[in-house]
Amino acid sequence: MTIGGLLRCLASRWHEALRGSTARAPSSSVLAVACCLVSLASCLPASGNPDSVNVRSHGAAGDGKADDTAAFLAAIAAANRDKRTVYVPRGIYRVAKPLVLEGIALHGPEPGAWPADVDATPVLIPTHRDGPGIEIKAGGSLRGICVRYAWEKEPEAGPPAILVSGIGAWISAVKIMYPWDGIMTDGVSNVGRLNIADVFIVSPRNVGVRVTGTWDVPALRNIEVWNAGPVARGLDKGIGFDLGKNDLIRLTDCFAFAMNVGFLLRDKIPGAKIEGGTWGVMTGCSTDYCSIGIKVEGDNTVSISGGTFWQHDNGVIVDGEKARVRLTGAEIKSNGAPAVTVRSADHVVITGCSLLRPMKEHAGPVAEITGGRAILQGNHIEGHGSGVVIGENARNVVMNGNLMDVKGAEVEDRQRHHGVTVG
């Protein structure tokens, strides 16, 4: 109910109380007004938010057994009609159709708890597999909700839990459990100024977060993609953060655990009509126990500052003739492959980083530059085998002021031509 509606309700109750008290003593009028104020509570929705439509008021059971689809669709329709929000109390709700949010918000209790290892928010269980659990169009938002999937067997395909297909979408304080894909943009629409914050994605089978088509400054903040169950899966599959065509995207404090690739930047995403690379920054982001920490393919421009990237195999791979990567103040640690691999690039600049390959049983180059142009300056390079290997197709490599602590040849300069400088 809007503020105007509340005022009209109060005025009506006030008028009725005074009219009924005209024949009584003046003190009766005071009592009538007091009764009017008490009865004002009946004007408020069950959530206590005068601008919300409660799904329970439209028949939602929230018992984890009933089909609550009709109640949610009715509440969304009412919110669209009256320009209000949709409120979801604590409970477990089964829905059998996509819930479409355009210009309205679907939200749980305020203030909500951080939805980490406990289910402190309302839970939606999508039972359909022919569309997203929730679609967010222009101006839609989702807050304080858990979306949880229940599969009869390990899936081989599936829809995204949340699909974004319009500008100005906002997703916050959301938990997504066991999806095929977590949060996806549709690959067709302009989804500029997308904001995703404080999200925990548990065990996505394919992609945690995919963002492409963002004309104008999207932001991803404090998002964790965590894969360690409930069904065991090897590191040969899965992408934590999949980034395509983005204009000045800002990633802050994002984390991927036990995915094949933690952060993948590429200018062509299968199935997406929008093509083009990412331009943006990553600040304080990290990975752990992924096969590859960061992989940059194609025409991408990214500045990466801070963070720790501890990988089962490769730390950072750059493989794109037009790729431009600046990496500073980070720790890159790998086991079975180089901490940094540059296969091709317009340029890669690595400064003030720790590049580590500590396992004796997987000795090899800490950094390997086989193509493109690269600058390594002021880094700590430690490992077993070789410190830096420069391949014959590297165009220009400059190394200056690096601290080498390796068991083996510090630098293997296989090209030895005029464009390579070793400092």
What 19-23 contacts at long range (C-beta under 8 Å, 24+ apart), as own/partner pairs, is none
| pLDDT in the model for residue 220 | 98
Give residue-wise pLDDT tens across range 102-147: 999 999 997 665 667 777 899 999 999 999 999 999 999 999 999 9
- Tokens read off for 307: 């963070």
DSSP 40: G
- Amino acid of residue 81: R
CB 101 within 8 A of CB 135: yes
Cα angle, residue 140 at apex, residues 135 and 142 outer, rounded to 5°: 75
Residue with tokens 């009412």: 78
| Cis peptide leading into residue 111 (ω within 30°) | yes
Can you tell me the distance from the alpha carbon of 76 to that of 69, in angstroms, rounded to the nearest whole number? 11
* 213, 249, 290, 312, 395 from 234: Cα distances, Å: 30, 30, 10, 11, 36
In a structure prediction context, what are the per-residue pLDDT tens digits for the chain, which is 423 residues long?
444 444 444 444 444 444 544 444 444 444 444 444 434 433 444 444 678 999 999 999 999 999 999 999 999 999 999 999 999 999 999 999 999 999 999 999 976 656 677 778 999 999 999 999 999 999 999 999 999 999 988 899 999 999 999 999 999 999 999 999 999 999 999 999 999 999 999 999 999 999 999 999 999 999 999 998 777 677 888 999 999 999 999 999 999 999 999 999 999 999 999 999 999 999 999 999 999 999 999 999 999 999 999 999 999 999 999 999 999 999 999 999 999 999 999 999 999 999 999 998 888 999 999 999 999 999 999 999 889 999 989 999 999 999 999 987 556 544 433 333 343
Percent of the chain scoring above 90 in pLDDT: 75
Q: Give the start-end residues of each E strand in 68-140.
A: 85-87, 92-95, 99-101, 105-107, 123-126, 134-136
Can you tell me the distance from the alpha carbon of 307 to that of 286, in angstroms, rounded to the nearest whole number? 5
Query: In this structure, what are the phi and psi dihedrals at residue 361, rounded to the nearest 5 degrees?
Result: -70, -10
Can you tell me the distance from the alpha carbon of 267 to that of 62, in angstroms, rounded to the nearest whole number? 42
